[in-house]
Amino acid sequence: MSETRRIEIYDTTLRDGTQGEGFNLSLQDKLLIAQKLDELGVDYIEGGFPGSNEKDRAFFQEIKPLKLRHAKVSAFGMTRRRGMKAEDDPNMKALLAADTLVVTFVGKTSDYQVRAVMNVTPEENLAMIGDSVKLMRSAGRKVVYDAEHFFDTYRSNPQYAMQTLLAAQEAGAAVLCLCDTNGGSMPEFVAEAVAAVKKQTSVMVGVHTHNDASVAVANALAGIRAGADHAQGTINGVGERCGNMDLIPLIANLRLKYNLDCLSRAGGDTLQHLTEVSRYVYETANMNLISGQPYVGTSAFAHKGGMHVQAVQKDVSTYEHVDPAAVGNTRRILISELSGVSNIATKAGKKFDLENDKATLKNVLERVKTMENEGYQFEAAEASFELLVRKEIGRYRKFLDLDHYRVITLMQGGNAPVAEATVKIHVNGQMEHRVAEGDGPVNALDGALRKALKAHYPAIQQVHLTDYKVRVINSKDETAASVRVVIECKRDCGEGKREIFGTIGVNTNIIAASWQALVDAYEYHLIQVEETEAPK
């Protein structure tokens, strides 16, 4: 395959992606994500379906003054209705009013669905496709034609499937995008069908695949290898049912495995922003990251087994297929009961110069194994691990001594329950006694602890709790079981930089475990602040 060949990337996160369960975006969310996609260098951003709702109509008005640098915005719609002229169709009018450079139509390929679902003849369906494309072409729009259920129909009635594509091509469509709408096709068949279409058409061919059989990315790659030059998908694979094809691994594979161009590089190589964009979309949609997501997940370049870590220390290619920095990710060395001294050395050695201190490394390793046997896990609690190391080597700084805390929950009538926490601690030789209310006991406890520390350590305002997870460790003990609390925090490091870190607490009492994780979080943050500000 030629190294100069370029693949168009068509992003439909803002339209097809929002059909996925749990993936919801406000108008402002859509505008922010569109700008991120443009910075990444995608070619097309499908903004929505202006004929279906007011939010999407507003999007096309609000996106205009943002002046995207590279991406072209596309409005999505269906072909004209049966028995109606294209220019009279309300959907067509909405598409024209969206005033985008590109219009994408979805049309029926299946002769069965044409009869059974749309209640029209196959001939009328061809006219609906042609008329819709012609109207948009006469208005100066570039047209992308999405052939719905193409691969299923090509299997059952290849003649009619081709007729629908030719109807769109003859009317002026610039791209014929073949859709695996039900997501059940296999890569070899996708390749066969794309190759056949390439021989019988003269415009660009694209692929739009779904992940119902867990081969959406493989299908897109098979289609591209067979001649498709346009790929449609969503960031993180969000979408209806099992999701759309995930553009993140597709882009990485095209660039790093096939050496094909697929992103605008006018402002430099943007591949290293893949991880940033992936996590931005998750965060904007208020969704949890998928740690094992290829290329961009937090576990994508994480090493846990001692043998693996030892090998990676010598040659990263032993257990990494690409450089994590190429896609903006980072290598992580995990600490667990499976760790060897090499894990501890790699994790702690760079910061504390412990590579050659075998005794300390062994002591830390034994402590980790003992604590993990008690229910601790340091994979997502790297800040608590650092505090453990600091205590072992004498570089730990204690910021408070607890006298007591008390948490109560008040429920009155039909009102929502309110939690109240009282915290009494010693800070710098002074007694601090503070009270705070919260939506829940941990929220209230966090508020009271912050109040007690703020006067002594104003930097406490730079750290924020972003996630809170509870896991029962020994469920056979039922309500007396120990629980593991993992808290994720975000701290401002200055100059626009942020660090995300985790801490852990384990106890049979969920509040006690939460207190331990909270204190670890604040002490870790304050230690970083003090060491950063200390004279060199």
Contact 196, 135 (CB under 8 A): no
Least confident of 257-261, 323-327, 366-370: 366-370
- 369 and 467 in a common domain: no
Residue 96 has pLDDT above 60, yes or no: yes
| Residue 532 banded pLDDT, cuts 50, 70, 90 | confident
In a domain, 294, yes or no: no
List the structure tokens of 26: 């406000």
Residues 120-178 have pLDDT tens digits of 999 999 999 999 999 999 999 999 999 999 999 999 999 999 999 999 999 999 999 99
Residue 284 has pLDDT above 60, yes or no: yes
In a domain, 93, yes or no: yes
- 485 and 445 in a common domain: no
In a domain, 79, yes or no: yes
**Ramachandran area for residue 243 (φ above 0: left; ψ -120 to 50: alpha; else beta):** left
Residue 106 structural domain: 9-264+272-284
- 135 and 43 in a common domain: yes
- 353 and 308 in a common domain: yes
In a domain, 381, yes or no: no
- 323 and 413 in a common domain: no
Say if residue 467 is exposed, middle or buried (CB neighbours under 10 Å; 0-12, 13-18, 19+).
middle
Whole-number percent of the chain with pLDDT over 70: 93
Residue 355 has pLDDT above 80, yes or no: no
Residues 182-203 have pLDDT tens digits of 999 999 999 999 999 999 999 9
Last residue of a domain, one of 373, 389, 420: 373
Contact 220, 231 (CB under 8 A): yes
The total number of structural domains that make up the chain:
4
- 343 and 216 in a common domain: no
Give the strands of the sheet with 483-494, arranged side by side. Answer: 463-472, 483-494, 497-507
- 467 and 451 in a common domain: no
Q: What is the pLDDT of residue 2?
A: 44
- 316 and 235 in a common domain: no
Whole-number percent of the chain with pLDDT over 90: 68
Supply the mean pLDDT for the chain: 90
Q: What average pLDDT does the segment 332-338 reach?
A: 63
Residue 314 CA neighbour count, 13 Å, CB half: 7
Radius of gyration for the alpha carbons in the chain, expressed in angstroms and rounded = 28
Q: What is the pLDDT of residue 309?
A: 67
- 316 and 177 in a common domain: no
Residues 363-380 have pLDDT tens digits of 888 888 888 888 888 877
Q: What average pLDDT does the segment 205-221 reach?
A: 98
Least confident of 232-241, 244-253, 365-374: 365-374
Residue 478 has pLDDT above 70, yes or no: no
| Three-class secondary structure assignment of 233-276 | EEHHHCCCCCCECEHHHHHHHHHHCCCCECCCCCCCCCHHHHHH
Q: What is the pLDDT of residue 88?
A: 95
**More confident site: 310 or 180:** 180
Q: What is the CATH number of the domain that holds 488?
A: 3.30.160.340
**More confident site: 290 or 536:** 290
Q: What is the pLDDT of residue 1?
A: 41
Q: What is the pLDDT of residue 335?
A: 63
- 181 and 32 in a common domain: yes
| Residue 480 banded pLDDT, cuts 50, 70, 90 | low
- 315 and 241 in a common domain: no
Whole-model pTM? 0.72
